[in-house]
């Protein structure tokens, strides 16, 4: 099992709270696939997760952090946020912190990435 390298232990504990973590792993909450102490910027879902007290629950599952029209729960694969994957779901349908099409095609296409980058660069 992959873990996020060089990050505070808390990050991996946080990731373990999500019922389904593949294929996004660190990218579900961070803008870097390999966050480090100096590049641990959170994406919008990561920020909502933190604001939610760092727990995965129905509150977090029923909002749409990235505003792409798919609720966090749908993207993560646990629609009701009860901590158990929906049905036989084994991978996330989308990235809850990235505007994507929640299921088909590449999770992060170049256009999306460009938009996101521009957003964070502006801070």
- Contact residues toward Ca ion (CB under 5 A) are 64, 66, 68, 70, 75, 94-95, 100
Least gap, CB of 67 to Ca ion (angstroms): 7
Q: Is the peptide bond before 11 cis (omega within 30 degrees of 0)?
A: no
Nearer to Ca ion, 14 or 75 (CB): 75
Q: How far is it, in rounded angstroms, from Cα 112 to Cα 83? A: 28
Nearer to Ca ion, 34 or 63 (CB): 63
Q: How far apart are the first and last CA of the chain?
A: 33
Least gap, CB of 102 to Ca ion (angstroms): 6
Q: Is the peptide bond before 62 cis (omega within 30 degrees of 0)?
A: no
Nearer to Ca ion, 68 or 109 (CB): 68
């Amino acid at each position: 099992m992959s873990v996020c390298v060089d990050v505070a232990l808390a990050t991996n504990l946080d990731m373990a709270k999500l019922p389904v973590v593949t294929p996004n792993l660190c990218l579900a909450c961070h803008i870097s696939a390999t966050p480090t102490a100096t590049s641990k910027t959170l994406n919008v879902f990561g920020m909502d997760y933190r604001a939610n007290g760092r727990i995965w629950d129905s509150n977090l599952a029923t909002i749409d952090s990235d505003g792409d029209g798919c609720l966090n729960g749908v993207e993560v694969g646990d629609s009701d946020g009860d901590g158990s994957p929906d049905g036989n779901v084994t991978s996330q349908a989308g990235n809850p912190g990235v505007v994507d099409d929640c299921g088909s095609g590449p999770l992060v296409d170049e256009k999306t990435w460009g938009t996101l980058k521009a957003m964070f660069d502006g801070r």
